[in-house]
Amino acid sequence: MDNLVCVSDFESQASKILSRNALDYYKSGAGQQTTLQNNKTAFTKLRIRPRFLTNVSNRDLSTTILGEKISIPIGISPTAMQRMAHPGGECSNAKAAESFNTIFTLSTIATSSIEEIAEAAPHGLKWFQLYIYIDRNVTLNLIRRAEKAGFKAIALTVDTPMFGLRLADVRNKFTLPPHLKFANFEGEKSTKINTTQDGSGLNNYVEKLFDTSLTWDDVKWLKSVTNLPVVIKGILTAEDAKIAVDIGVEGIWVSNHGARQVDGVPASIEALPEIVKAVEGKVEVYLDGGVTDGTDVFKALALGAKMVFIGRPTLWGLACNGEEGVKKILEILRKEFDFALALTGCSSVVDIKKEMVVHESYYAKI
């Protein structure tokens, strides 16, 4: 891995290692993938306004999320079916996050179970990403297992009444490799994805089992059945952010699901400012989508995110070298973010101010 020095290096190498089925699943977005491209290009339209002649000899990259101190404002997003990338899968990812003292988020449709993650990373800070199933007993069982296993928050994904139209998965008739299953389930719910003959097996699975009738009342229900903090993942508008705050959620996760739901929605970083403004500091705000460099982390924090989460980069790390590959990804981003702090006159995350990042149009008047 010595020659892999940035996230794009890992992506290129992973593209040579992964099967077409897995690579296309991990890499693709919805529709014509306009939003997928915008997730990255929107960051390039933001300019950093550095300040100089400040003492940056001692820098602190840590922050506090939902009362827990973490070493860097970079956590790991929930991504499904990680054992397609490496046999260690989600367990390797969780162990890497534990070693960096940051947050790992486990997907409902993971190929490693809640209990396996708890055993692999017993001291790690773990969140559980939740989809609500038609059968509420299934959902409650997941919540109780996460609570028992020491997970610290529930990240409820709200942008998926069904999964988006991902053309690569349709072309590939995507299914899990036959030796893998959804590890949080038994029986049909663990293997049904493997039986499709028509389009994407994942879409067929979701259409049969996920609850498309969800409303904000179901968020209230979730709040009533767990004492864990509830983070709402998938918010892209001020209107929805305000409703979430009124209901009493503890965090809002700005995300377009890796641009995998409906093509044409804003990049996450584009949606972030209006959501930060709408919540008025009442809850923490996080972001994922398009983060591939430490300067992206800096820009997101300047625009009001408390931290960012990364998904695909850790998959590329997994594919290249399992746990050590994910550690290398986290170290690369940590180092890039540290450089961004030092070279803009910041000694800690609290020194990053809103006026330090502007849209490129700011300079058009000059």
CA 112 to CA 182: how far, in whole Å? 7
CA 264 to CA 35: how far, in whole Å? 6
The residue count for the chain:
366
Q: Are 343 and 50 in contact (CB under 8 A)?
A: yes
**Tokens 């981003």 sit at which residue?**
333
- Give the per-residue SS3 of the chain: CCCCCCHHHHHHHHHHHCCHHHHHHHHCCCCCCHHHHHHHHHHHCEEECCCCCCCCCCCECCEEECCEEECCCEEECCCCCHHHCCCCHHHHHHHHHHHCCCEEEECCCCCCCHHHHHHHCCCCEEEEEECCECCHHHHHHHHHHHHHCCCCEEEEECCCCCCCCCHHHHHHCCCCCCCCCCCCCCCHHHHHHHHCCCCCHHHHHHHHHECCCCCHHHHHHHHHHCCCCEEEEEECCHHHHHHHHHHCCCEEEECCHHHCCCCCCCCHHHHHHHHHHHHCCCCEEEEECCCCCHHHHHHHHHCCCCEEEECHHHHHHHHHHHHHHHHHHHHHHHHHHHHHHHCCCCCEHHHCCHHHEEEHHHHHHC
Is 359 considered catalytic here?
A: no
CA 135 to CA 241: how far, in whole Å? 27
Q: How far is CA 177 from CA 198, 201, 316, in A?
A: 16, 11, 18
Among residues 86, 123, 179, 257, the one annotated as catalytic is: 257
Which positions are catalytic?
Answer: 257
